[in-house]
Structure formats: structure tokens, C-alpha cells
């Protein structure tokens, strides 16, 4: 069973529907016991980092997610859920993340060229590091496949954790991984067949 963490941030029904579409046993849950019993965990999120981080902590689920990830249970953060995996964010101040992925979350406005719209909204190609094997979460897709982004902030200083980038002026972090923890800046549930292939690869991982 895959537990999609429901902590009151964003519309997560489309993500739930996507997992059901590919035949996964997915459940929306705010129950710590059910999340601990799950084979895999998905951390979604939209909105502002600080508010989401506070809601996750107030719900008591931040510790549950971190503890299960540290045991080696596969964890997938999506969009803001990915950003929450980092050590800290500088969105409207400085806010502490879960610290499961090294790095910081910062605004893309200072780094994208003049004329590029921020937030970055739309379809962009994924590029994989050429100096190491492709991450297993991308085993079903190809270099240059397109996925759908909606974001103003991005992960940086994440080094070897970067498993995919996308070009929006400069190369920006599109996905990260550390052990069994994965993060996608884009929305797989809005990325058509490519997104479904990525979710299927996550479902097929051994816990």
C-alpha cells in the first residue's frame, strides 16, 4: 500500500487518481499508524514552504515521514513536497525542512534570464547526469522526455543528490534522490504518459 500524506496542503485528489489509474493501492491518509504500515510514502504539496512545513509538523506527521524514510522505506516528495525534503528554504524568510536531502530551496528569479516568466509554468525536458547511471525512478522514460512544472523556487547546493535537471535559462534541479528518498520538482500526475511511467517505477521499487 502507498500512503499519500494528507496534511491539509493542496488538492491531492489528482495524484491519488493517477496512482489508482496505474493499478496501485494508494490511500490518502493523515493517520500516523497507517502511514507507518504503508510500503511506500508520497509527500505532496502546493503553496508556500513555511506554511506547509508548519502544517506537517503540527499534524505530527513530519516525524513519522522522517522516521520511516530513515528506516529505508521509499519516500517520494512531489513539487512542494520535494522542497520539504531539503534542509531549509528561503521562501519568505528562512524555514527548516525535513533534512532528508542536502541543500537549500531558493528563488529562481535571480538566475533565470530577463524575459523568462516566473513562476516557471509549463512543459520542459528532463536531462539526466551523464557521469552516473540513470536513477531507477526514471528507468521507464528517456532523456529529453517532457514533464509539467509549476514553481518559483528550486533546490540548489544538492550536489550528488541531483538525478535530473531541466533547462529554463540555466539548468535547474528537476529531481533529487538520496537512498530511498526521491523528490520531483515537477508534477508527474499532470505529465501524461511520462508521469505515469515515473509513478509506476516508484510503485515497483522494493521497500
CA–CA dist 140, 158 (Å, integer): 24
Left (φ > 0), alpha (ψ -120 to 50) or beta: where does 81 sit? alpha
CA–CA dist 192, 174 (Å, integer): 17
Write out the catalytic residue numbers: 79, 187, 189
CA–CA dist 172, 112 (Å, integer): 9
* 62, 63, 69, 75: CA torsion to nearest 10: -20
Closest CA to 181 of 28, 53, 52, 73: 73
Amino acid at each position: 500500500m502507498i500512503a499519500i500524506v494528507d496534511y491539509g496542503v493542496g488538492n491531492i485528489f489528482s495524484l491519488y487518481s493517477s496512482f489508482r489509474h496505474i493499478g496501485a493501492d494508494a490511500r490518502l491518509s493523515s493517520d500516523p499508524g497507517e502511514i507507518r504500515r504503508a510500503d511506500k510514502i508520497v509527500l505532496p504539496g502546493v503553496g508556500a514552504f513555511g506554511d506547509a512545513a508548519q502544517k506537517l509538523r503540527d499534524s505530527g506527521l513530519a516525524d513519522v515521514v522522517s522516521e520511516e524514510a530513515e528506516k529505508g522505506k521509499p519516500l517520494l516528495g512531489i513539487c512542494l513536497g520535494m522542497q520539504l525534503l531539503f534542509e531549509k528554504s528561503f521562501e519568505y524568510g528562512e524555514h527548516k525542512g525535513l533534512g532528508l536531502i542536502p541543500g537549500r530551496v531558493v528563488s529562481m528569479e535571480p538566475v533565470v534570464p530577463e524575459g523568462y516568466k516566473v513562476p516557471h509554468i509549463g512543459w520542459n525536458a528532463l536531462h539526466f547526469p551523464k557521469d552516473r547511471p540513470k536513477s531507477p525512478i526514471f528507468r521507464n522514460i528517456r532523456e529529453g522526455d517532457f514533464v509539467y512544472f509549476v514553481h518559483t523556487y528550486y533546490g540548489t547546493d544538492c550536489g550528488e543528490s541531483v538525478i535530473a535537471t531541466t533547462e529554463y535559462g540555466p539548468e535547474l534541479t528537476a529531481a533529487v534522490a538520496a537512498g530511498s528518498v526521491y523528490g520531483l520538482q515537477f508534477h508527474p500526475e499532470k505529465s501524461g504518459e511520462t508521469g505515469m511511467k515515473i509513478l509506476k517505477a516508484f510503485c515497483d521499487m522494493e521497500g
